[in-house]
Chains A and B, each alone.
Chain A
Amino acid sequence: MAIKSPPNPAPILTSLQPAKGKLTSQLKQKLGFGLLTAVSTFTVLPIIALGIFILVQGIPSISWEFITGYPREGMRAGGILPAIVGTFYLTLGTAIFSVPPGIAAAIYLSEYAAENRFTRLIRIAMINLSGIPSVVYGLFGLGLFVLFLQFGSSILAASLTLSIMTLPVIISATEEALRSVPQSFRVVSISLGASRWQTIWRIVLPQSLPGIITGVILGLERAAGETAPILFTGAAFFLPRLPTSPMDETMALPYHLFVISTQVPGMPVQIQYGTVLVLLVFVLGMNLTATVIRSRARARRQW
């Protein structure tokens, strides 16, 4: 009884069948990846285009007079020195009011706090703070600092308002940096007889410093570019001199840009582009510094 071989090589055919199906799914994959590439390119290309556009349009208006001069002829000529200095002061003030408490709060969350209901409350408060719209911070600053505490519209009130907005950014970045220090470092330090504070001050903080600095700069970067929180707490429409005390109002780059692009008719476009360029250099320069610090620290890190 001879074994009948199957009339047609069915096994081969069925093994071909999925291969055929696979071909279409391969094709689908190619199309899909193509689409993803296109969408991602479509998303980031405008960023590059924007950068080049602003550089090309803005550079011709940058001059020594533009950087160091005062606005003239209803801001339609002259420089933007008061706005540059104002943004510098506001960023500095924000740093003073947000960096020490921010780092301290992060140390508390990472090194002291137990995972209990209070800690959860702090975390919910932080999430809440980081989500509040910037203009609501402006309202709050107006209500508390300008009116209730009678600081008036001033650098002090505006810096305090910005510092509350910046606080959650600094806390979460610092906490992440602190937590990334290996637990064994702390254990060794304590076992050698150091107190908790000595361990934090001599071991944990130095090891996490690059991460903390990066977080602080990114937080301050956001504050430097913000307009809405300072609208009613300290920004001046036009000020022909530099502020002399923390109780003075001040011009600021972002608000100045808003003013000259919407509130002043007949504004020469050159001054607008120049202002945008200076603001972007200020803000993205901070961004770049943070990125460089972070990548250098990562390269050097031994754990």
Chain B
Amino acid sequence: MTTTRPTSTQNLSLEKVLSLFIRLAGYLSVLYVSLICLFLLKEGLPALREVEGESLLGRVWYPIEGYFGILPLLMGSLVVTVGAALIATPLGVSTAVFISEVAPQWAKEVLKPLVEILAGIPSVVLGFIGILVLSPFFRQAMNLPTGLTAFTGAVLLGWAAVPTIASISEDALNTVPRAYREAAMALGATHWQTIWGVTVPAARSGILTAITLGLGRVIGETMAVMMVTGNAPVVPEGLQALFLPVRTMTATIASEMGEVAKGSTHYHVLFFIGITLFILSLIFNITAFALSARKIKRSERLLS
């Protein structure tokens, strides 16, 4: 009795310490997000004071001469992201529908690990493949002066975004109650009609979440896009701009931050671009979160 009592009080105090650690760790994510906001603002906001607002939204990015117009970079990111979305959405959703609704068991077991492997390939390896294989191929196939273009970036990133879209869409399709499909089939719909008339619409918000998160990935993608889009900070104009080099916001930060003097205007503007990226990713993620939250509410209402 006397020997167990000290250890049990010891356990109790150990338990208290551990519980405290666990509680603190729980709040760590909030702390980190606050710190990230704080430091981005601290280093990025001086840009607004040092560069006139008009010039910051200008069309020329030429930091050595003091031109800090982020419009070409914003447009570069936009072109690549929209292009990638146009490629990734049909590929990702089709793959998800195929895996979840159509494929035989053996095909599922081959496809799912392959999609996971694609998700695990480092961005820099994709960029390497882009430089060595994709860009020479597009240059020859389309007779372009260079293969390092917005189009190459969009194709590469679109392909790389497929795992995100496919796996989240597949989860959404799997949560559609079996009864929905059975009811549709019982009413005489074919398997194909059931998929597009019932299952996919029922999983719509999950699929939209998947696409939004995929887009968030693409806009924040750095290494691959920096390696294959040719690094030319010009405002893209017209459709032919798709086949010219561009420069995204992420690539600008990654390629220039190494060489700027800490505390210079250029340094602050690069952080300001970081703030822009942070806000864009926030918008994508909050949208995705809201979409999936709405899904839960509606399915609760339907199934209860």
Q: Which residues of A contact B (CB under 8 A)?
A: 18, 22, 25-26, 28-29, 32-33, 35-37, 39-40, 42-44, 46-48, 50-51, 53, 100-102, 104-105, 107-109, 112-113, 121-122, 124-140, 142-144, 147-148, 164, 167-168, 171, 195-197, 218, 221-222, 224-228, 231-232, 254-255, 257-258, 261-262, 269, 272, 276, 279-280, 283-284, 287, 291
Cα-based distance from A224 to B121 in the complex (angstroms):
11
Given known A112-B23, A228-B222, A279-B125, contact A261–B111 (CB-CB < 8 A): no
**Which residue of B is nearest A119, CB measured?**
B26
Cα-based distance from A194 to B188 in the complex (angstroms):
56
Cα-based distance from A50 to B122 in the complex (angstroms):
13
Report yes or no: A105 in contact with B94, Cβ–Cβ below 8 A.
no
Q: Which residues of B contact A (CB under 8 A)?
A: 11, 15, 18-19, 21-30, 32-33, 35-36, 39-40, 42-43, 90-91, 94-95, 97-99, 102-103, 110-111, 113-118, 120-125, 127-129, 131-133, 159, 162, 166, 188, 190-193, 213, 216, 219-223, 227, 250, 253-254, 257-258, 262, 270-271, 274, 277-278, 281-282, 284-286, 288-289
Report yes or no: B222 in contact with A132, Cβ–Cβ below 8 A.
no
Given known A47-B117, A133-B220, A135-B220, contact A171–B278 (CB-CB < 8 A): no
Given known A139-B274, A258-B227, A291-B116, contact A226–B122 (CB-CB < 8 A): yes
B287 to chain A, nearest CB (A): 11
- Chain B residues whose CB sits within 8 angstroms of the CB of A39 once the complex forms: 90-91, 94-95, 98
Report yes or no: B124 in contact with A225, Cβ–Cβ below 8 A.
yes
Given known A37-B102, A144-B39, A257-B128, contact A135–B29 (CB-CB < 8 A): no
Cα-based distance from A291 to B120 in the complex (angstroms):
12
Report yes or no: B25 in contact with A47, Cβ–Cβ below 8 A.
no
Other-chain contact of B262, A35, A40, A147 (Cβ < 8 Å): A147
- Chain A residues whose CB sits within 8 angstroms of the CB of B133 once the complex forms: 53
Report yes or no: A131 in contact with B284, Cβ–Cβ below 8 A.
yes
Cα-based distance from A127 to B281 in the complex (angstroms):
10
Given known A101-B25, A139-B40, A258-B227, contact A37–B220 (CB-CB < 8 A): no
9 A-B pairs whose Cβ atoms sit less than 8 Å apart in the complex = A18-B188, A43-B115, A47-B114, A51-B117, A108-B26, A121-B30, A128-B33, A135-B222, A272-B132
Cα-based distance from A262 to B230 in the complex (angstroms):
11
- Chain A residues whose CB sits within 8 angstroms of the CB of B270 once the complex forms: 139
A153 to chain B, nearest CB (A): 10
A133 to chain B, nearest CB (A): 3
- Chain B residues whose CB sits within 8 angstroms of the CB of A147 once the complex forms: 262
Cα-based distance from A195 to B97 in the complex (angstroms):
46
Q: 17 other contacts beyond A131-B284, A136-B220, A195-B15, with CB at 8 A cut-off?
A: A29-B193, A33-B102, A40-B94, A40-B103, A44-B95, A44-B111, A44-B114, A47-B114, A104-B22, A108-B25, A139-B39, A143-B39, A164-B32, A222-B120, A227-B122, A228-B223, A232-B258
